[in-house]
């Protein structure tokens, strides 16, 4: 500072720098920072531990059953334990992404971040990468422990399940992008959580409503009137299989176990498209809602 | 460096900023004055594209600012009160993170220099959220300077700082200015602006009342004189007669002493003397004082807004 | 007696009335003593009355004449009989197999217990004249004339083989079946007469022996061999064999119009996967075997256990389609589930035991008998069946390929090979004897992330601690 030199006016090179280059830089920085933040706090480790605990309980229950019943036909060994862990990991990243934008915006930290050359696309892209990495690392930590569990108990761990686990971050993309969209449009972090709960209730409501409508007898006065609604709910239900990250996850693991690569690719493609749409909506939503509290 | 043309921001029925025409020149320190709620922060948010103006135009570095632009922030450093509650970052990590966002390749030397200069070197590995308010403010300044910006925007830069900290920051800004940087300081602490600003804009209720150099502004505003008159005794009815005089702006009495603020009329003092004499008063002492910027600012913003707007 | 009258798609789901009314009477007998209990019982009584009245309503259903499609849906080596009333908008059939549908007028009534319509074939069962038209995406792709058909069923152990005859073959097969039936009836009559004569001869012989005479006992006549085949009779229907896809059908009446209420969707589907499954009979509970269906299924047995494998073909279908194949009114089925369905047994070939890619043993299909253990050793003992052995029954209890899990930690796989010695696709399965680890040992695994977390976070926190003189 003591070496005072006159500054020249800013050159205009940065004005011509491509937006994607700046965004790429922001995405890398934000992703690395968010990943660090997640790995330096307890919830990530607790989620992994709870997932493994449930997996251990499932396996131990099977071992107990074999001891008493002498025979167990285990369908897709470790599918359910892995699905449990992956689902928990996905719920963790959904919760994380729902607060990722809304909470710092509430606190005013998002405003400060935007003092730097950051735009919604770069920021949300960074969060998306971070969310996938947070999810992926949880599987990287837990899956080898499942293999250890398999070795300890002499249960087979299907290699195809590893392929399935490796592809599941693609399905996490949908979860993170959906969470970011909710976070971007919500007025506060609390309302973001409410929106998420409302979405979950809506999905449960559609499924429950469909089941309820199935039980309406053909002789009912309302049968014909409800037929359209039933068809609609059935279509929505079928559509949810291709939209819901949890449904995509279980379907993807199932396809991997069946070595049905076309099915797996189809689901991965649906996840990429779904994730892209949610991300685009999130960018649009953040642009609309803004970064100020 | 910064030019705004008829910049207006309206929130439903509330007009936050109205037809603002700012001109910040390269290499100067611009003091942006205004009481709380005047629209200073809204203006800064518009300059940084954090909120969109209802109407008007912004030119930064000679280029018009379009919605969605963010490249320009590479050349700007911003200091504002920052929340750190949810961050897991240390002070050092936070600055390094922002250096990364700005694309600074090797920030360590620069960071060390700034951390040492502002006495944060020993606590650099502490969690930023555990910092005191003053330390946070210093950290914010380091964050804003780490990429050596062309323009430094400071929103209440010395808030929360102790006198030593204020001096350190002032020196840092001074050095930055000496090296050719442009500084835009927004504050309601007038003494701070008075010490360092080359030019000043006064914002009140969303409107720019005055924009001038410090000397020019003082010249315009301090024509009002503060007059302290000590009398042998205060005759009955004198105060009422003084109050009704058109050249007396303000009046107060402390025993035999009368404090009067006179408007910028060349013969105001002599007319005042004459009026006292006519009322039977004997002047023992008459002393005039120039108004400080703070006194002028208060006068401008609290009493004579409409009148001074015309002056401006 | 041996003819399933008229149509095999007569599905009767009538259940005898349950005892709600009688339980109400039982409740009334205890309707005394405490007042609070009395109130509760009154409420129960009212509920029972309401339910009783509902049931009473259900027992007198309103019948109506209706157009329905009788369905004989081909499935593996058998046929499933069902029908589709108006409330079933779609008929489900398997691809590449001949199924038969038959338009009929019958009386139907709604049965609230199953939420479905039932048909009273005994009351009305009239064929509807016309030709069946099949459309795909609105385009007519086939017109089918009514054809004579019959299905003959042959029981094979626990399964049944069915064969469909069409046209002249159907008439011939039905004639042969009738001839067999007639021959059996004739032989039965002759057997009864011979039995009567033999009884009389035996009575006479007993009398002569009582009188001190030596008599020769006449040989007892043998009953005729039972008919091992069943038929659903000769009927008119439309045989359908299509590739997977969605179609529409309707009946074109002789006057050229579309028969009222004859429009239906037709969904033709195929299995997603075909494999070899196993029925696994554990020695300790041989009457309740488990099924191995999915290719990823693993057979886990306790150390020291003997298991017996019965291979069969297994197919994976969309659960909803499979349910609707059997009953087009079954709408309350999950839309996205898949289900494995066991098919015809595979009793030729051998079972190979493979360890580390090497075949270490080959097992042949072996007959077994089961002995129940008494006293404290209650359970079963499975022993090889030796025909003609004094203790053996006339036939084995089951036949299977044996495997054994000796020790904890044992691992191998099994697969079927054809009589020609080639491995059959989809027949390989893993067999394991798991190690029963202590729960406390297993808990170390979920603790691992917490240990890693504690290390990472606490180490960082120690580094991040601010000097004591720095206060907020």
**ipTM of this predicted structure:** 0.88
Q: How far is B93 from chain A (nearest CA, A)?
A: 9
With left for phi above 0 and alpha for psi between -120 and 50, is residue C264 left, alpha or beta?
beta
- A210 neighbors A234 (Cβ within 8 angstroms): yes
Q: Are the CB atoms for C313 and C76 separated by under 8 Å? A: yes
Q: Residue C140 has what pLDDT?
A: 94
Q: Is C435 touching A (CB cutoff 8 A)? A: yes
Q: Which residue in A has a C-alpha nearest to residue B65's C-alpha?
A: A15
Residues of C in contact with B133 (CB under 8 A): 472
> Which residue is closest to B104 within chain A, CA to CA?
A25
CB contact under 8 A, A109 and B84: yes
| Residues of chain C contacting residue A141, judged by C-beta atoms under 8 Å apart | 449, 452
What is the token pair recorded at C30? Answer: 């205890």
Angstroms from B75 CA to nearest CA on chain A: 7
Token pair of B164 as six digits = 């030593």
Please report the pLDDT score of residue B238 as a whole number.
87
B122 close to C (CB below 8 A): yes
pLDDT of amino acid C59: 53
Question: C235-240 and C99-111: which strand pairing?
Answer: antiparallel
- Rounded CA separation A223/A217 (Å): 7
Chain A nearest CA to B94, separation (Å): 9
Report the alpha-carbon distance of residue B81 to residue A293 in Å, rounded: 14
A-proximal residues of C, 98-117, CB under 8 Å: 110, 112, 115, 117
Inter-chain touch A218–C453, beta carbons under 8 Å: no
* SS3 (DSSP) at C405: strand
Residues of A in contact with B179 (CB under 8 A): 4-7
Those chains having 3 or more beta-carbon pairs within 8 angstroms of chain B are A, C
Q: What is the DSSP string of A7-31?
A: PPPPPSHHHHS-HHHHHHHHHHHHH
- B239 in contact with A, Cβ within 8 Å: no
> Does the distance separating the beta carbons of B101 and A292 come in below 8 Å?
no
Length of chain A as a residue count: 293
Q: How far apart are the C-alpha atoms of B82 and A115, rounded to whole Å?
A: 11
Which stretch of DSSP H or E encloses residue C106? strand C99-111
Q: What is the pLDDT of residue B297?
A: 65
Is the CB of B282 inside 8 Å of chain A's CB atoms?
Answer: no
Chain B's closest residue to C463, CA to CA, is B125
Nearest CA-CA distance, residue B147 and chain A, Å: 10
Tally of CB atoms within 10 A around A62: 19
Residues C413, C278 contacting (CB under 8 angstroms): no
Chains touching chain A through at least 3 C-beta pairs below 8 angstroms are B, C
CA distance B65 to chain C (A): 40
Contact yes or no for A71 and C282 at CB 8 A:
yes
Which residues have C-beta within 8 Å of that of residue C73, sequence separation ≥ 6? C79, C80, C81, C82, C92, C93, C94, C99, C325, C326
Q: Distance between CA C296 and CA C302 in Å, rounded?
A: 19
Closest in B90, B125, B130 to C472, CB measured:
B130
- pLDDT value of position C192: 94
| Cβ–Cβ below 8 Å for A9 and B82 | no
Nearest-Cα distance to chain A for C442, in Å, is 7
Q: Percentage of chain B with pLDDT > 70?
A: 87
Q: Residue ranges of chain C with pLDDT lower than 50?
A: 1-35, 49-58, 471-472
Judging contacts by C-beta atoms under 8 Å, the chain C residues touching residue A50 are 446
What is the arithmetic mean of pLDDT over B3-30? 88
Could you tell me which chain C residue has the CA closest to the CA of A72? C300
Which of B104, B113, B265, B233 minimizes the C-alpha distance to B175?
A: B113
pLDDT in tens, chain A (293 residues): 444 444 544 455 555 667 888 899 999 999 999 999 999 999 999 999 999 999 999 999 999 999 888 899 998 889 999 999 999 999 999 999 999 999 999 988 899 999 999 999 999 999 999 999 999 999 999 999 999 999 999 999 999 999 999 999 999 999 999 999 999 999 899 999 999 999 889 888 888 888 788 777 766 777 777 778 887 888 888 888 888 899 999 999 999 988 889 999 999 999 999 999 999 999 999 999 988 88
Distance CA C129, CA C257 (A): 12
Alpha-carbon gap, residue C230 to A94, rounded angstroms: 61
Give the pair of three-digit tokens for residue B211: 């924009």
Question: According to the 3-state scheme, what is the secondary structure of B31-89?
Answer: EEECCCCCCHHHHHHHHCCCCCCCEEEEEECCEECCCCCCHHHHHEEEECCCCCCCCCC
pLDDT on residue C299 = 94
Closest-CA residue of B relative to A292 is B50
Other CB atoms within 10 A of residue B74 CB? 20
Q: Is B174 on the interface with A (CB under 8 A)?
A: no
CA–CA gap between residue B265 and residue B249 (Å, rounded): 11
Q: Chain C contacts of A79, Cβ < 8 Å?
A: 296
Rounded to a whole number, what is the distance in Å from the CA of A54 to chain B's nearest CA? 29
Record: contact A4-B144, CB cut-off 8 A: no
Confidence of residue B290 (pLDDT cuts 50, 70, 90): low
B58 touching A (Cβ < 8 Å): no
Compute the average pLDDT of residues B83-91. 75
Antiparallel, parallel or unpaired: β C147-156 and C99-111: unpaired
Residue C164 tokens read as: 């469909």
The beta-carbon neighbor of A145 closest among C285, C448, C453 is C448
Give the whole-angstrom CA distance, residue A189 versus residue A103: 5
For position C14, what pLDDT does the model report?
28
Contacts of C291 in chain A (CB under 8 A): 73
The reply to whether residue B100 touches residue A290, judged by beta carbons under 8 angstroms, is: no
Residue with tokens 């629209």: B39
Burial B141-157 (b: 16+ CB within 10 A, else e): bbbbbbbebbbbbbbbb
Instruction: Dig out the tokens for B80 from the structure.
Output: 């504002």
Return the structure tokens found at A167: 């592809």
For chain B, the three-class secondary structure string (H helix, E strand, C coil) is: CEEEEEEEEEECCEEEEEEECCEECCCCEEEEECCCCCCHHHHHHHHCCCCCCCEEEEEECCEECCCCCCHHHHHEEEECCCCCCCCCCEHHHHHHHHHHHHCCCCCHHHHHHHHHHCCCHHHCCCEHHHCCHHHHHHHHHHHHHCCCCCEEEEECCCCCCCHHHHHHHHHHHHHHHHCCCEEEEEECCHHHHHHHCCEEEEEECCEEEEEEEHHHHHHHHCCCEEEEEEECCCCCCHHHHHHHCCCEEEEEEECCEEEEEECCCCCHHHHHHHHHHHCCCCEEEEEEEECCHHHHHHHHHHCCHHHHHHHC
What integer is the mean pLDDT of B146-164? 85
- E strands within C139-226? 139-144, 147-156, 159-166
Backbone angles phi, psi at A280, to 5 degrees: -60, -45
Q: Any chain A CB within 8 A of the CB of C295?
A: yes
- Determine what percent of chain B is predicted with pLDDT higher than 90: 15
User: For residues B108 and C284, what is the distance between their CA atoms, to the nearest angstrom?
Assistant: 73
Q: Does C198 touch chain A (CB under 8 A)?
A: no
- Listed in sequence order, the residues at least 6 apart from C218 whose beta carbon sits closer than 8 Å to its beta carbon are C198, C201, C202, C205
Mean pLDDT of B155-176: 83
Q: Based on C-alpha coordinates, what's the Rg of chain C?
A: 32
């Amino acid at each position: 500072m003591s070496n005072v030199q006159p500054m020249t006016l800013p050159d205009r090179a940065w004005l011509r720098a491509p937006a994607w280059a700046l965004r790429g830089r922001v995405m890398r920085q934000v992703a690395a920072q968010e990943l660090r933040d997640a790995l330096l706090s307890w919830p990530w480790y607790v989620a992994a531990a709870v997932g493994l605990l449930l997996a251990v309980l499932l396996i131990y229950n099977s071992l107990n059953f074999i001891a008493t019943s002498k025979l167990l036909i285990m369908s897709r060994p470790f599918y359910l334990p892995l699905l449990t862990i992956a689902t928990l990991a996905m719920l963790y990243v959904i919760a994380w992404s729902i607060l990722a934008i809304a909470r710092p915006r509430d606190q005013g930290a998002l405003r400060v971040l935007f003092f730097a050359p950051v735009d919604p696309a770069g920021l949300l892209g960074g969060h998306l990468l971070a969310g996938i990495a947070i999810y992926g690392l949880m599987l990287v930590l837990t899956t080898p422990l499942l293999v250890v569990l398999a070795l300890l108990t002499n249960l087979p761990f299907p290699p195809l399940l590893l392929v399935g686990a490796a592809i599941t971050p693609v399905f996490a993309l949908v979860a993170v992008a959906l969470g970011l969209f909710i976070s971007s449009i919500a007025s506060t972090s609390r309302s973001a959580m409410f929106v998420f709960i409302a979405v979950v209730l809506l999905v449960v409501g559609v499924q429950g409503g469909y089941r309820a409508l199935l039980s309406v007898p053909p002789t009912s006065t309302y049968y014909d009137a409800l037929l359209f609604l039933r068809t609609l709910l059935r279509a929505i239900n079928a559509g949810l299989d291709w939209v819901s990250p949890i449904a995509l996850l279980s379907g993807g693991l199932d396809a991997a176990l069946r070595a049905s690569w076309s099915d797996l690719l189809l689901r991965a493609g649906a996840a990429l498209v779904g994730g892209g749409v949610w991300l685009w909506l999130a960018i649009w939503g953040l642009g609309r809602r803004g970064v100020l509290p | 460096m910064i030019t705004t043309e008829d910049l207006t921001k309206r929130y439903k029925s509330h007009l936050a900023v109205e037809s603002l025409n700012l001109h910040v020149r390269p290499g100067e320190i611009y003091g942006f004055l205004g009481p709380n709620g005047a629209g200073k922060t809204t203006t800064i948010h518009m300059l940084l594209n954090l909120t969109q103006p209802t109407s008007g135009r912004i030119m930064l570095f000679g280029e018009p600012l379009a919605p969605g632009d963010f490249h320009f922030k590479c050349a700007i450093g911003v200091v504002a009160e920052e929340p750190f509650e949810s961050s897991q970052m240390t002070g050092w990590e936070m600055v390094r993170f922002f250096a990364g966002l700005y694309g600074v390749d090797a920030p360590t030397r620069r960071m060390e220099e700034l951390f040492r200069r502002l006495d944060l070197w020993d606590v650099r590995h502490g969690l930023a959220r555990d910092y005191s308010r003053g330390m946070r403010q210093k950290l914010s300044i380091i964050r804003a300077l780490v990429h050596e910006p062309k323009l430094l925007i400071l929103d209440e830069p010395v808030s929360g700082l102790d006198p030593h900290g204020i001096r350190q920051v002032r020196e840092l800004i001074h050095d930055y200015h000496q090296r050719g940087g442009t500084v835009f300081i927004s504050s309601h602490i007038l003494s701070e602006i008075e010490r360092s600003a080359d030019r000043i804009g006064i914002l009140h209720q969303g409107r720019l009342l005055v924009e001038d150099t410090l000397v020019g502004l003082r010249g315009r505003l301090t024509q009002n004189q503060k007059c302290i008159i000590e009398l042998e005794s205060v005759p009955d009815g004198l105060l009422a007669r003084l109050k009704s005089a058109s050249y007396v702006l303000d009046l107060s009495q402390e025993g035999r002493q009368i404090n009067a603020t006179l408007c910028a009329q060349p013969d105001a003092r002599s007319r005042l003397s004459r009026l006292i004499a006519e009322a039977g008063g004997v002047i023992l002492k008459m002393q005039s004082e120039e108004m400080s910027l703070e006194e002028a600012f208060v006068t401008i913003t609290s009493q004579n807004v409409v009148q001074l707007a015309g002056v401006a | 007696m041996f003819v399933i009258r008229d149509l095999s798609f007569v599905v009767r789901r009538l259940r005898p009335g349950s005892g709600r009314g009688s339980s109400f009477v039982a409740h009334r007998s205890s309707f005394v003593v405490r007042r609070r209990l009395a109130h509760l019982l009154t409420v129960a009584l009212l509920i029972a009355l309401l339910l009783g009245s509902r049931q009473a309503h259900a027992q007198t259903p309103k019948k109506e004449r209706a157009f329905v499609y009788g369905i004989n849906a081909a499935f593996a080596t058998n046929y499933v009989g069902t029908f589709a009333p108006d409330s079933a908008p779609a008929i489900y059939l398997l691809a590449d197999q001949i199924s038969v549908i038959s338009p009929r007028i019958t009386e139907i009534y709604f049965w609230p217990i199953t939420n479905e319509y039932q048909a009273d074939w005994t009351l009305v069962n009239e064929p509807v004249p016309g030709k069946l038209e099949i459309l795909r995406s609105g385009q007519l792709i086939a017109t089918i004339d009514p054809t004579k058909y019959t299905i003959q069923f042959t029981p094979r152990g626990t399964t049944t083989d069915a064969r469909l005859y069409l046209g002249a073959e159907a008439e011939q097969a039905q004639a042969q079946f009738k001839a067999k039936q007639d021959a059996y009836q004739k032989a039965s009559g002759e057997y009864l007469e011979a039995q009567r004569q033999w009884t009389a001869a035996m009575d006479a012989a007993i009398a002569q022996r009582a009188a001190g005479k030596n008599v020769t006992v006449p040989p007892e006549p043998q009953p005729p061999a039972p008919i091992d085949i069943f038929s659903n009779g000769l009927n008119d229907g439309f045989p359908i064999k299509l590739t997977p896809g969605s179609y529409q059908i309707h009946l074109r009446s002789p006057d050229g119009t579309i028969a009222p209420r004859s429009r239906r969707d037709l969904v033709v589907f195929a299995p997603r996967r075909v494999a070899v499954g196993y029925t696994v009979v554990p020695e300790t509970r041989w009457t309740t075997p488990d099924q191995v269906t999915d290719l990823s299924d693993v057979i886990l047995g306790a150390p020291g256990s003997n298991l017996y494998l019965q291979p069969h073909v297994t197919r994976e279908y969309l659960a909803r389609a499979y349910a609707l194949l059997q009953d087009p009114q079954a709408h309350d089925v999950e839309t996205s589930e898949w289900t494995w369905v066991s098919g015809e047994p595979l009793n030729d070939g051998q079972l190979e035991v493979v360890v580390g890619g090497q075949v270490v043993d080959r097992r042949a299909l072996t007959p077994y008998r089961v002995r129940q253990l008494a006293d404290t050793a209650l359970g079963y003992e499975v022993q090889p069946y030796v025909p003609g052995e004094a203790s053996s029954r006339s036939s084995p209890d089951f036949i299977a390929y044996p495997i054994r899990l000796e020790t904890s930690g044992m691992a191998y796989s099994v697969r079927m090979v054809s009589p020609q010695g080639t491995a059959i696709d989809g027949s390989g399965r893993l067999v394991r004897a798991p190690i029963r680890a202590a729960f406390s040992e297993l808990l170390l695994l979920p603790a691992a992330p917490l240990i890693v977390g504690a290390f990472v976070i606490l180490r960082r926190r120690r580094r991040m601690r601010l000097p004591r003189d720095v206060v907020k």
